[in-house]
Structure 1
Amino acid sequence: MQIETPPTEKRYERPEGERRGLILVHTGDGKGKSTAAFGLALRAFGRQHVHGKQVEIFQFMKVPTARFGEHRMFEHIGLPIHGLGDGFSWKSRDLEHSAQLARDGWERARAAIMDGQHFLVVLDEITYPLIYGWLPLDPVLQTLRERPRDVHVCLTGRRCPEEIIALADTVTEMTLVKHAFKAGVPAQRGIED
């Protein structure tokens, strides 16, 4: 490890631009994409009294009855989170049904983005229905372009389409450096539900 001297001067100038809704993307093969989006949702939800608009999470691959740690906590504090899918694709008994769930879920998420009542809408794991061909890309791009000016949208998932990355304001790629699962350690409840 190399020791660094802490900065004594600000390293950037404050932007002078107008505040507006952002498109944020968390993608890549590393862990933490959904976790980062949930942290963002919690931050926005904590400020809900300031901006007076809703925060809502749509999970494209989780089942509506999912009870992972985030579901229990968000339910407890009143932050809406919706499972729109039927779980991992390899567990699906009918991929056309999975595709229809994604399309129906998109209509719900799109309505939230466009209704003008939301400050932040999280589209968790939306990249999978896109790259599987279950959900056409063009309506998603059109919604992101035409959304009300003050609506923030956060999209997560691996292999995010380049068209979304080009449109986004902020893109973070999570890089896999090391993973316990590859060393034979199973997922740990409360860490990787």
Structure 2
Amino acid sequence: MTSSSTDDKYKQRMQRKKEHIDKKIAEANEERGIIILITGNGKGKSTSGFGTVLRCVGHGLKAGVAQFIKGKWDCGERNILEKLGVDFHVMGTGFTWDTQNKELDTQAAQEVWQETRKMLSNPELTLVLLDELTYIARYGYIDTDEIIEALNNRPKMQSVIITGRGCPQPLTDIADTISEIKDVRHAYNSGVKAQKGIDW
């Protein structure tokens, strides 16, 4: 096969691909905020959410973050995003397996949830990240129906990212975009210590 023939076939293939992509872009004409669920057992769910927050702020738009479960430990993303004007509301008790106190964890979750509700009603926020919300809903610290009501009543152009494993089905059902991160291999399981700047 000649080089010219190979080039022609490549161009034809790319032209067909372009036509398909252009058609899909033309069909997507609805304008509204979306709900993105980033779930699965793999590493990188929160990292993905924070990357989108940074992207949002990079375009001069406003974003807010509610962090459940992880507590007030050192967070590299928070260190930079707060300097860029992103409000953080962090559940003070930290990991539930450390506290082992459901009443205390429920109270801490409810305190962050009240601030979250304010963010979900603020039309100035283009994006709200609800980091590790799936656990809070699954453990019953916040009623899932209450979460869904707040999400459904948010400003039309506001998007929300929910991260965490084991998302309750009702929350999964209302998500517009779902990405599942698979755990193929994790250095931690081989005894490699979590590293500042890499893992948090």
The answer for the alignment partner of 1:76 in structure 2 is 83
One-letter code of the match for 1:176? D
* TM-score (normalised: structure 2): 0.85
Contact residue 40 and residue 181 of structure 2 kept, 8 A: yes
Give distance in 2, aligned partners of 1:16 and 1:186.
44
> What is the match of residue 18 of structure 1?
30
Which structure 1 segments of 5+ residues have no match? none
Give the structure 2 partner of residue 55 of structure 1: 63
Larger Rg: 2
1:16 deviates by: 3.6
Aligned pair partner of 2:145 in 121, 127, 138: 138
Q: Which residue of 2 aligns with 1:35?
A: 47
Q: Quote how far apart the aligned CAs of 1:93 are.
A: 5.4
Q: Deviation of residue 60 (structure 1)?
A: 1.1
Q: How does 1:87-126 map to 2 (within 5 A)?
A: 87-92=94-99, 94-126=101-133
Partner Cα distance (1:75, 1:149) in 2: 25
Cα deviation 1:152-175 (Å, max 9, x = unaligned)? 111000011111111111000111
- Structure 1's consecutive aligned runs of 4 or more residues displaced over 3 angstroms after TM superposition are none
- CA-atom RMSD, angstroms? 1.8
| CA displacement, residues 80-135 of structure 1 (integer Å, 9 cap, x when unaligned) | 22212311112115321111111121111011111222111110001111111111
Q: Give the distance between the partners of 2:176 and 2:194, measured in 1 at CA.
A: 33
Aligned-pair identity (%): 36
User: Is the helix fraction higher in 1 or 2?
Assistant: 2
**Does residue 1:46 correspond to 2:58, yes or no?**
yes
Q: Structure 2: 5+ residue runs without aligned partners?
A: 1-9
